[in-house]
Structure 1
Amino acid sequence: MNKRESLIWLCIIFVISVAMFLTGCPSNQEGKQQNLKAFDFSLKTIEGEEIQLKSYQGKEIVHLAFWATWCPSCLMEIPKLKNLYYAAENKPYEVLSIDVGLNDSIERVKQTQARYQLPYKILFDGTGEVSKRYGIIGVPTHIIINKEGMVIDRLNQLPENPKAYLAQVFSQ
């Protein structure tokens, strides 16, 4: 193999690696970090409202949905997240959708919110600090926090049946 062929193969491997990261390949973190205290954080919604995680403690189960506007898997999962949100409408269950901020902007997130008519709160992690603290290495990633502030589930995909999943979450 000559130098040119080696360089071509190296470029192909690099492009495939980047593509796998950007398309939200599963992070193999599913189910890990359960029964750990959730990290408190404060982020602004895309409308500018300050949200602090600890304000939900003792009141509601919190679903942190980490995503990005450029992630095809995240966009394909929007109908499932909306179904879960509506299935939990009269329950103490809050969805906080967190854009990881990487290669994104509040304006793009607002455009995505309008395009897909996202009904839940959307926060912007511009520094990536919250994503780092939760060990987010791929999107989408979902972290479920109980009323006591403990992580009870971590998912790379949402379940097909939101009502059954909610029943499972509320039984824990």
Structure 2
Amino acid sequence: MRRYVPVFVVLLLLAATLFIMGGAPRPDAPPAPSVRVGTVAPDFTLRTYDGDTVTLSHLRGKVVLINFWATWCPPCRAEKPALEKLYQRFSNRDDFEILAVNVEEDAQRALDVYLERNPHSFPIPIDAQARVQELYRVYRFPETFILDRNGIVVDHVIGGRDWTDAQVIAYISRLLGE
């Protein structure tokens, strides 16, 4: 019986190691979000669909809604008309901006087709190399960050939303000090 004790101890240690490793994060799991409510949104510069350049830090003093999306994403397409209405609702103000960051590799061609049927008036920065998408740890679409005038993330929305909802309008109005 004593000669089985070392084998039993080795098996017990092996089982304990496997148990502990089972609780470890998987290497293919997305990393924890680096952009959280209450933190300063990471700065970025991107070229827009219209050929302009937008730098987030240059928008300080404005309430900014950053919406990550793609034309192949049905919920993204579904919420774009409401985003346009929200943008138009506050178009008389110079302290509100929407950045609809497109994350497609072939964004220019995809947007040419999409925007022909779905015109917009807000800027569409293109993140074809997914640098900003990775910086913000965006893995689901659409995903939206709302920033206050100081560039602090005050809301984080995963999935589509009705941006014309009265509560959303009231929330944006409060951020703008209306």
Q: TM-score range by the shorter chain?
A: 0.7 to 0.9
RCO higher in 1 or 2 (8 Å CA, sep ≥ 6)?
1
Q: 2:100 aligns with which of 76, 97, 101?
A: 97
Deviation, structure 1 residue 152? 0.6
Change in CA separation of 1:96 and 1:140 when aligned onto 2, cut-off 3 Å: same
Bigger strand fraction: 1
Change (3 A) 1:121 1:72: same
Distance 1:160 1:105, change over 3 A: closer
**Is 1:48 aligned to residue 51 of structure 2?**
yes
1:63 is paired with a residue of what secondary structure? Answer: strand
- From 76, 79, 97, the counterpart of 1:77: 79
Give the 5 Å matches for 1:111-122.
Answer: 111-122=113-124
Contact 2:69 2:141 in 1 (8 A): yes
Q: Where do 1:127-166 residues align within 5 Å?
A: 127-156=129-158, 157-159=160-162, 161-166=164-169
SS in 2 for 1:66: strand
Give per-residue Cα distances to partners, 1:138-172, cap 9 Å, x unaligned. 11111111110101111123245445313223425
What's the Cα RMSD here?
2.1
SS state of the match for residue 124, structure 2?
strand
Give the gaps of 5 or more residues in structure 2.
Answer: 1-31
Question: For residue 167 of structure 1, what is the aligned residue in structure 2?
Answer: 170
TM-score, normalisation: structure 2: 0.72
CA offset digits 1:116-152 (Å, max 9, x no partner): 0111111110110101111111111111111101011
SS in 2 for 1:90: coil
Letter in 2 for 1:93: F
- Residue identity over aligned pairs, in percent, reads 27
SS in 2 for 1:37: coil
Task: Give distance in 1, aligned partners of 2:152 and 2:75.
Answer: 27
2:138 counterpart letter in structure 1: I
| Structure exhibiting the larger radius of gyration computed from Cα positions | 2
Q: State how far apart, in whole Å, the 2-side matches of 1:143 and 1:43 are.
A: 17
> Which of these residues, 34, 50, 54, is aligned with residue 37 of structure 2?
34
Which structure 1 residue ranges, 4+ long, deviate > 3 Å from structure 2?
Answer: 159-164
User: Do the aligned residues in 1 keep the contact of 2:40 with 2:151 (CA within 8 Å)?
Assistant: yes
Conservation of the 8 A alpha-carbon contact between 1:87 and 1:163? no
- Alignment gaps of 5+ in structure 1: 1-28
Task: Say which SS state the counterpart of residue 125 (structure 2) adopts.
Answer: strand
Tell me the alpha carbon deviations over residues 82-112 of structure 1, each in whole angstroms, 9 at most, x when there is no partner.
Answer: 121111212321011100124x331211221
